[in-house]
Amino acid sequence: MGDTLIIPGRYDRIQQACQFVAAGAAQAGLDDTAVFHVELACDEACTNVIEHAYGAEDVGQIRLSWEVQAGRFVITIHDNGRSFDPDEVPVPIPEDVANGTSDFPRVGGLGVHFMRKLMDEVRYQFEDDGNTLVLVKVIE
Amino acid sequence: MAIQQESLHGDVWLVRADGRLDQSQTPLLETALNQLLDDGRTVLIVDLSQASYINSGGLRCLVSAWRRAKQQDGDVLLCGLNDRLQEVFTMVGFDKVFQIHPTLIAAQRAVKKGK
């Protein structure tokens, strides 16, 4: 069980990517809440590709695929942009946002935080042919 | 996505955002909030009861407006979040940054009380 989709790196195509993985997640047996988590994580991942790996819209494509592996829903997202380390983006601390000492929203950092909160596993690989992000949700 | 604006009593403005607050739709909301803040409207209630989805870009937009309003002694209050939206705000702790009210009436009461 699995499928692949390639979209141009544009914000207005991210919803299509989200619907693609959400449909796969539902087919794999994830419940509504888990499907929503998968959709949001995919949204943040594709947004990061456009913002950080490609640096702008219409620079390159995003290839998404999903499969079920031993009770796990596995999404692989690949781009040909420059490598970036998501862990270097600081996560905003709510108290600092509230008292004005955080750089958020200028710097961002929420997307990676969302992915880690929403998924059971998040892995990045940076190779010569681009970046590969693997997102895993356990099927309960 | 549709954005509607309405003047309420006491120079409070209501902004209704429908649909998906994602990277392609949020700029509409951002423009509306910035226009109101540019015009000196610093107490804004954002009604999200018809919003079905929000991502980090949507949150960023709301925090930017909240910060601008606070700098001008105003506020941006939120109301009508569905369970999904509430989960997203709670997940990142922004339920502690914003005043979030279940209904528009409750948000309006809170504004009156704060004056």
Q: Give yes or no for a cis peptide into A105 (omega within 30° of 0).
A: yes
**Reported ipTM:** 0.86
The CATH fold assigned to B3-114 is Transcription Regulator spoIIAA (3.30.750)
Is A108 in contact with B59 (Cβ distance < 8 A)?
A: no
Q: pLDDT value at position A84? A: 75
Residues of chain A with pLDDT under 70: 89-92, 97-108
Q: What is the pLDDT of residue B70?
A: 94
Task: With cut-offs at 50, 70 and 90, classify the pLDDT of residue B101.
Answer: very high
- What does the alpha-carbon distance between residue A122 and residue B76 come to, in Å, rounded to a whole number? 34
Amino acid B113: pLDDT: 85
Mean pLDDT of B67-88: 95
- Burial classification of residue B9, based on how many CB atoms lie within 10 Å of its CB (0-12 exposed, 13-18 middle, 19 or more buried): exposed
Pinpoint the alpha helices (H) of chain A: 14-27, 32-48, 94-99, 110-118
Chain A nearest CA to B97, separation (Å): 5
The rounded Cα A106 to chain-centroid distance in angstroms is 20
Query: What pLDDT is attached to residue A79?
Result: 97
- Tell me if A117 and B67 make a contact (CB, 8 A cut-off): no
Check residues A86 and B86 and name the one with the higher pLDDT: B86
Structural domain count of chain A: 1
Contact B24 A97 (CB under 8 A): no
Average pLDDT of span B102-107: 97
- Tell whether the torsion through CA atoms of B67, B15, B55 and B82 is positive or negative: positive
Domain of A63? Answer: 2-138
pLDDT at residue number A129: 87
Residues B63, A97: C-beta atoms closer than 8 Å: yes
Characterize the bridge pairing of strands A61-69 and A2-8. Answer: antiparallel
The verdict on A62 touching B (C-beta cutoff 8 Å) is no
Residues of A in contact with B55 (CB under 8 A): 40, 43-44, 47, 111, 114
Residue B82, pLDDT above cutoff 70? yes
- The pLDDT score that the predictor gives to residue A138 is 97
Best of A11, A57, A95 to disrupt the B interface (most B CBs within 10 Å) is A11
* Residue the block writes with tokens 């992000």: A133
Q: What is the pLDDT of residue A101?
A: 66
CATH code of the domain containing A20? 3.30.565.10
**pLDDT of the residue at B73:** 94
pLDDT digits (tens, 9 = 90+) for B26-69: 999 999 999 999 999 999 999 999 999 999 999 989 999 999 99
The SS3 call for residue B31 is helix
Looking at residue B77, its pLDDT comes to: 98
Q: Are B3 and B48 in contact (CB under 8 A)?
A: no
The letter for the amino acid at A67 is: E
pLDDT at residue B115 in the model? 64
Work out whether strand B43-47 and strand B75-79 pair parallel, antiparallel, or are unpaired. parallel
